[in-house]
Structure 1
Amino acid sequence: MYDERIPYQDAMLCIKVNQHMKIREPLLRLWHYHRELEWLYIQEGSLQIRVQEQVYTLGPGGVLLVGSSQPHATWTVVSEKVIYLTLHFDLNAYSDPSVMLYYRTLYEIDGPLSRFNEQFHTVPQLREDIGRAISGIYHEMHCRRRGSEVAIGLYVKQLLLSVLRSESEEEGENRELPPASNLRQVFDYVERHLSDKIEMDTISKMTNMSYHYFSKYFKKTIGLSFVQYVNIQRIKKAERLLLTEQAKITEIAEKVGITNMTHFYQLFKRYNRCSPKEYALRLTTNADKLSPSSAPTS
């Protein structure tokens, strides 16, 4: 089993989507995993995929979701010829406040996202919507028309919505949703003050909760502590700055509110498994190699 590194076709969107064709091709069945979510959409033929202990057989129109860091392998080509799309994207790149409200589900606190594959298989309309979104992302990524970034972002949100709506149907919409009014102002405040010192005491007063109650409330609702959430947002902003600004790493660390460089490097490596310099070099190199002019059109 190996940790696969996904070469993004767009450094800002943190996404890769490709079309594959296999004709009577023997497969090595190599187990692998990656931090990105993976979606498959079968356009022609049949394919078997194994996700941990579960084997899925996908025919034309079939879709599959593999969760972050979940071991999986392409098991066998069932038909003589199969054509399918694979989509990988880093969920962190699309985690705005509306997404963070459903952190427990989308970040797999309550269980792997692959548990929704049965729902995708049994609900034709849901399967069609997912296939249409994946196809739309593929088309936009390889045509690169004006506004493609916006269109791709909308399609990704459609995929995430499919997951959330599947959960609602599966549980009879009995699950209590987190109180959005309290959390939205917290998310907005953190986003505006990432370069400053953020005190949980200030946040708890803002939400009319005691310090200890807010701490427990936030972790129970979101699935991670408030400090962890702030650190994730700081690193996400640092990722964007590394790609969009010509600045020293020390300056970027200060802009995201981390003055201790040792702590900054530790956090960055924890969430990206590489240093800030390696991250920027890898993404900009991949972006150059996979520029619109060199993108496949099939």
Structure 2
Amino acid sequence: MTADLHTLEGKSFWDERFPMYITREREAFTLPLHIHDFIEIQYVAEGKGFHYIGDERVVAEKGDLYIIPIGTHHVYRPSSPLSKNELIVYNCLFDKNVPQQLGLSYPLPAEIYSLLNGESASYRRYKDTSSEGRQLLEGMHQEYFSKQAGYEAALYAQLTKLLVYLYRLETNQAFSMPAYSGISIILSYIDKHYNQTITLANAAQLISTSPSYVQKIFKQVTGQSFIEYIQNVRVKKSLELLQHPFYSIKEIANLVGYRDLKFFYTLFKKKTGHSPAQYRSRLTTPNIENQ
């Protein structure tokens, strides 16, 4: 059966110089059941549908994280062809030798390799209840798309962090900090209300604590200040909206919560290295240097 399956090859996505590929896909009914000769980490970002993987049909929903080793056949299907039921998945593809290369620079736990090569199971599935997986995959996608100077090094570092996060999920270490459950509630609230005014006081009320405590624990858990995190979420949302030409940049600024257009421009360029107009132009203009 495996020999008859459609096979995706890494060389179709990258060159040997940098054997990694990051994409954000709107799943459809066109891609057949397939296997691949690379390791894949996937994050279900939006929607709900089904993941046909191995001999199972698994409900796929927002917050699912998967490790797909080489040789595991799978495919996603949205719950229906209607656009309102779209299923959006982030994909991180990399060559099987990349983890060993990372291990030469970082003391990766040995168990990570067995998770990736499918020794103990044909795939791994986790729930990203803290939204850390989403942040990592979104950040990697943005880094890969912008291709600023040194992006390869940045992506290898981010992949290392992602692998450690998956290892912690596997060993249940990621949620040993009591504050994690409370911060998870706040992260979920920000993700749904990013276009509104959100203060530390608002966040503290969600988990019945003080603003100063939220500020302190927020930094420990996410590695970002409260304001910085909200700014990053808004910029990431604006990157998605810029893919739709019918929105003006002023409208996008409003949709992500900024009424001051000048401030939005300044923040966007600081975070991405480009103005919103330049970023939108890159979406439609071929990158001649990479051809």
- TM-score normalized by the length of structure 1: 0.48
Instruction: Kindly indicate whether structure 1 or structure 2 has the higher relative contact order, using CA contacts under 8 Å at least 6 residues apart.
Output: 1
